[in-house]
Amino acid sequence: MLNNANDATSAPRRWQALSMVAIVFTVLFVATDRCIAEQRTIRLSVVDADTGEPVAARLYLQSSAEKPFYFQSDDASGSAVRYEKQNWINKRSVEYHTTVSAHRCSAAVPEGEYQLTVQRGKTYFPHTQTLTVGANDVELTVRLKRWADPQSRGWYSGDTHLHRTIQDLENVILAEDLNVALPLTNWVTIADRAPRAGDKNLSDIPDGLVTVDQTHVIWPRNTEYEIFTVAEQRHTLGALFVLGHRNALQLGVPPWRPVVQSVRSTDPGALFDMDKLDWPFAMVLPTIAPDALYELSNNHVWRTEFAFRNWNTPAPAYMQPPYGAGQGGHRQWIDYTLGMYYTLLNCGFRMPPSAGTANGVHPVPAGFGRVYVHQEDGFEFDDWLRGLRAGRSFVTTGPMLYATADEHDPGHVFRLSAPEAIPLAVDVLSEKRLSYGELLINGRPEVLLRPQNQRTAEGAFRSAFSLDVLPDRSGWFAVRFWQPHDDGQSRFVHSAPWYVEIGEEPVRPLAREKRYLVSRLENEMRRSQGIVPAAAMQEYERALAYYQSLDVFDDSADVAAAARPSAGETLKRWLDNMINDHRFDVDEVRLATGLSSAEAAEAIAQRADSAGSTGFRILPYPGGRHPRIGFLDGAIRPQRETKVSVFPPWDEGGYVVVDVPEAVFSNLGLTYLAHEHIPTIWTEQGIDLPRLEWSVDEDTLHVERKLPGGIVIESHVTEQSGAAAMQLKLTNGTKEKLTGLRVQVCVMLKGAIGFNSQEKLPSVTAPPFVAVRAANSNRWIITAWQPNHRVWTNPPVPCIHSDPIFPDCAPGQTVTVNGGLWFYEGDDIQSELDRLADQP
């Protein structure tokens, strides 16, 4: 009876429960039906603005909540490939797009606001617009405007580092207008394993060239050795690519030489590519494959945020001033990549540049960094590979660069009996204004190229240059340009090098370059001892012996011209300044003091355990290390007696070099200049000014310069409440009134960590103040002078200026200008400037 009673009372409850379930299902059905009803369709056609013909493209569609949406092709013969990558270190480094064929496509989206961006390769202006999707579907046609046509000039592009399927690439290379794709279809990460058994291989690899159309092809057989595991333990070595080979590779690594020898014998047309410079074992490769490609734009250079801030191998100080670095941002990584390339070229290796993205693994479009190869007779794949090997090329992440030296493409070898001028013609096109360019000779930026940025009929910017290259020794030269971008990550373009042979003179590295390569090999040998096989260690030993055997460039003439010899306590003070405070290397100590390499090395060793000073301080700048990174032709043989180093209060903040003054102009002409760049009124008369030194009195540095004719310039720099208080005095000892007394005071940022990227940094110009913020922090450097003539910044140096102007000065009178240099850490720079302005 009890059970029956329970059954009787539970029946209504069951009906209630069933009713609730029915209601829930009804609500869900209605809600789902409503959601389906709210889906709308964006139908998109992309055409060339000039021809009206449909073109393939890369599409970004993002909601106001930053959710990505993707397109599909509306044509049965079309294709759409979805790409979704997020970096595992920096979650803001994302690449979410669809590459679509030249057909109409569509995306299903809920009602709302969206941002649509349409891009196609490098040479079309991107199109971005906001879409409001309401009750109706949206149909639109985007007309992409081409701003450059490298193919019409015989230049064809490629990406040497891809991880995509062949099927995907048939779509992708058309959307990116990428002429050559070299996917690494065999990919092995474990030592001793043959590529055919690679742990990351693709399947169904075709045997021959895949032709998508007449100018877009895929070579499907390429191999990546990227070794992370040796002797069954984690031990990173690095990567070597074998590109364009026709036969399957049978050998594992290490050692590496047997693979190179085998490929050269069976596939002489194949190429080797070094991938990234910072792989621990990478400096072995040039001694094994000295003509290997070198990726100037590699798989850490992206359209999105930079991610890999920590590097496998630290960069030396001459590549990452002032002290070297093992980490950095986008521009620091590019500078390291380029600096390492220049070092290898200076050792005599003729390594053509390449570019690879690792699209398929990283958040970056295929061909974001790409290499263009010149083919005068039109596109043909085997000839493209030969041109890549010959270095008839340039690498770009944005601008287009067409340059010839004496009418020869890059890669040409000039064989001269004696130094002579080589005419260089440069034509560079860019989507946005270029900031600056440089002529490099043996890795040194010898000539600053200031772009004209003239508008073309297509709406791009064109700059053209004709100049003579004046190499004074065997080596190489190249040109590069930089284009600022809204995301703060500059785009660049870099020619392959032209080579110069003068008589029988070999190419010689600088001593510091040789020391770096030797130390890098020694460090890697210690790290790998007992882990890599004996044959691999023998390769390390041979590479080390090669670098040790290199003759270095004889810079004794430079030392004799620049050194300031001293002795006793004076020398000791300068050595403390150079080594403890500025962390000079052997060559810099030699250049500043005239000591021999052995003496300089001994002085450094004696101070190895010295902690050095910390915190804010002001010191005479010792010379020996050029205070600029770029525009070196605007500061030849800089004098040290006008320059002070001001060290900020921050840990590992480096230092700022202030030229007090850099230049003084007057109605007489250029009255004083702290370096050799343009003639002064004295050099035009054949008068050389004597060298001076700062005098130090407690916290004040003082120097007095008596010019011919009676003008006296005094400089005073003193510490004042954690800042540098500066004063310039000018006394007129002539018989005529001096007018137009403009002064340049240059605050050079090469040694200031976070401020030395040669890119336009966030800044505030509020005369007399100019303030610049570090790239990745809220630290600020501020300077001001009064009375003020102008404030400005110059990223190629990099430097900032608040330039004063003296009052007119009658005979016998003295006039004064005052300035300061301050450091601020915080987010309210305007309040800080207001505070400084209120100070007496």
Residues 299 and 153 placed together within one structural domain of the fold? yes
3-state DSSP assignment of residue 30: helix
607 domain residue, yes or no: no
Structure tokens at 507: 């190419």
Pair 91, 156 in one domain? no
Query: Token pair of 329, please?
Result: 């941002």
pTM (two decimals): 0.94
φ and ψ at residue 665, rounded to 5 degrees: -110, 150
pLDDT at 622 over 80: yes
Statement to judge: residues 83 and 159 lie in one domain: no
Assign residue 711 the CATH number of its domain: 2.70.98
Q: What is the CATH number of the domain that holds 439?
A: 2.60.40.10
Count, residues in the chain? 840
Q: What is the pLDDT of residues 392-434, one digit of tens each?
A: 999 999 999 999 999 999 999 999 999 999 999 999 999 999 9
pLDDT at 2: 33
Residue 627 and residue 798: Cα distance in Å, rounded?
10
Q: Can you tell me whether residue 566 is helix, strand or coil? A: coil
Interval 658-702: pLDDT, tens: 999 999 999 999 999 999 989 999 999 999 999 999 999 888 999
For residue 661, tell me if it sits in a domain: yes
Instruction: Indicate whether 17 pLDDT > 60.
Output: no
Query: Total domain count for the chain?
Result: 4
Same domain for 757 and 658:
yes
Taking the alpha carbons of 436, 404, 333, 158 in that order, is the dihedral positive or negative? positive
Residue 699: per-residue pLDDT: 84
Is residue 465 one of the residues assigned to a domain? yes
User: Last residue of a domain, which of 394, 425, 458?
Assistant: 394
Q: What is the pLDDT of residues 285-339, one digit of tens each?
A: 999 999 999 999 999 999 999 999 999 999 999 999 999 999 999 999 999 999 9
Same domain, 366 and 405: no
Same-domain status, 135 and 218: no
| Strand pairing class (294-297; 353-355) | parallel
Integer CA distances (angstroms), 183 to 193, 199, 359, 684, 704, in order: 20, 16, 9, 61, 65
**C-alpha of 602 from chain center:** 35
pLDDT tens digits, 454-479: 999 999 999 999 999 999 999 999 99
- Establish if 112 belongs to a structural domain: yes
Q: What percent of the chain has pLDDT over 90?
A: 91
Segment 718-745, tens digit of pLDDT: 999 999 999 999 999 999 999 999 999 9
- The tokens of 20 are what? 């609730």
In a domain, 138, yes or no: yes
Q: Which of 490, 553, 745, 750 is nearest to 632 (CA)?
A: 750
138 with 155, same domain: the answer is no
Of 394, 411, 436, the domain-final residue: 394
Closest-CA residue to 43 (of 75, 81, 90, 85): 75
Q: Do residues 423 and 466 lie in contact, with contact meaning Cβ atoms separated by under 8 Å?
A: yes
Residues 780 and 648 in one domain: yes
pLDDT score recorded for residue 293: 98
| Domain boundary, last residue among 394, 419, 452 | 394
Examine residue 568 and state whether it is found in any structural domain, yes or no.
no
Range of the domain at 710: 616-838
Residue 410 within a domain:
yes
Same domain, 363 and 407: no
What's the whole-number average pLDDT of the chain?
94
Does 4 score more than 50 pLDDT? Answer: no
d(CA 234, CA 190): 9
> Can you tell me the distance from the alpha carbon of 737 to that of 809, in angstroms, rounded to the nearest whole number?
6
- Residue 353 in this model has a pLDDT that exceeds 70: yes
Peptide bond connecting 798 to the previous residue in cis, omega within 30 degrees of 0: yes
Query: What is the CATH number for 334?
Result: 3.20.20
According to DSSP, the β-strands at 743-748 and 724-732 are: unpaired
Q: What is the mean pLDDT of residues 185-200?
A: 93
At residue 759 the predicted structure's pLDDT band, cuts being 50, 70 and 90, is very high
User: Using 50, 70 and 90 to split pLDDT, how confident is the model at 196?
Assistant: confident
Note the pLDDT of residue 366: 98
